[in-house]
Amino acid sequence: MQIITTKQELLQHVEACKQQNKTIGLVPTMGALHAGHASLVRRCVSENDVTFVSVFVNPTQFNNKEDLAKYPRNIWRDADLLSNLGAHFLFAPTPEEMYTAEEMNSTFEFGFNGLDQVMEGKMRPGHFNGVVQVVSRLFYLVRPDRAYFGEKDYQQLAIIRYMVSGSAFAGTFGDLQIVGCPIVREESGLALSSRNERLSESEKQTAVNISRILFESREWAKTQSVAEVQQRVVDAINAVEGLEVEYYEIVDQSTLLPAADFSHAIGCVTVYCGPVRLIDNIKY
Ligand code: PAF
């Protein structure tokens, strides 16, 4: 596997692949890779001739400076894992390589058709503008045939799908296919996340209750209304010492608007476990 740190080198390698008519798969990440990322990379390697993985902790998507500073980073461990998985190129630029000073500080404006007005969008103003800023840049640079994202960040996936198919970037990325991949969980049910690295062992035990309650709520959904299940999930999680729900919303899987019933519904939750903000979701 080759490690690339500049856009210029990246463009050269992409051009060489295109010249040889090779299909390109891209897995954008912020590093601190775990088995969830590994599942994306494995799938990418199996479906494309060449796999590019980006590792870039994107400053423009963090609205909380402390969260950015504390985001786990371990590029050499990531490189080892990616090489073992069969990735061909690791793109690991610095923020200065990705953005001009102006881009780093200016607000990237993008219309999300309301998808950003709910849940994460409400809690983290500007977050999805930063995500789209970096992901669109990666798409321009790598010109992938397929790009892989985890369903754990369900709203992000919905917004990226909209970005590619919606009017703002219409046709810009050719036939790019956005591939959503299922959440990978520990045996305990805890959704894998780079942020789990910041949990102590006892916090991890506590965090397991999030997925336990979400799975249990599928049973509740058989006899109760959306509003009742939504409230019951919030109450059950908040009743666990050490957990505090920021939001739990049961929404339509496509529009992300409040679901009227459970057909095509997904429940998305954000919970603080001590100081660590965790997200998870469940389809009904
Ligand atoms: O999901 C992530 O890790 C990030 O939001 C992404 C898509 C790599 C953009 O920085």
Residue 219's alpha-carbon distances to 154, 214, 215, 238, 248, in angstroms, are 22, 10, 8, 19, 17
Model confidence pLDDT, tens digit, residues 188-222: 999 999 999 999 999 999 999 999 999 999 999 99
Query: Of 99, 84, 72, 92, nearest to 28 (Cα)?
Result: 92
Query: Which ligand 1 atom is nearest residue 54's CA?
Result: 8
Please state, as a whole number, how many other Cβ atoms lie within 10 Å of the Cβ of residue 123: 13
Residue 129: CB within 6 Å of ligand 1? Answer: no
Q: Is 217 in the pocket of ligand 1 (CB under 6 A)?
A: no
246 closest CA partner among 223, 222, 269: 269
Instruction: For residue 149, report the distance from its CA to the centre of ligand 1, in Å.
Output: 8
Ligand 1, atom 5: closest residue by C-alpha:
131
Between 112 and 38, the higher pLDDT residue: 38
Measured CA to CA, the distance from residue 120 to residue 126 in angstroms comes to: 10
CA dist., res. 45 & res. 6, Å (int): 23
Nearest CA to ligand 1 atom 8: 29
pLDDT at residue 258, rounded to an integer: 97
Q: In angstroms, rounded to a whole number, what is the distance separating the alpha carbons of residues 217 and 178?
A: 29
Q: Which atom of ligand 1 is nearest to the CA of 160?
A: 7
CB of 26 within 6 A of ligand 1: the answer is: no
SS (H, E, C) 110-174: CCCCCCCCCCHHHHCCCHHHHHHHHHHHHHHHHCCCEEEEECCCHHHHHHHHHHHHCCCCCCCCC
Active-site amino acid positions: 37
Residue 274 has pLDDT above 90, yes or no: yes
Mean pLDDT of the chain: 95
pLDDT digits (tens, 9 = 90+) for 19-50: 999 999 999 999 999 999 999 999 999 999 99
Average pLDDT of the residues in 120-131 = 92
- Residue 109 above 80 pLDDT? no
Phi, psi of 225 (to 5 degrees): -80, 165
Mean of the pLDDT values across residues 44-71? Answer: 94
Q: Is the CB of 61 under 6 A from ligand 1?
A: yes
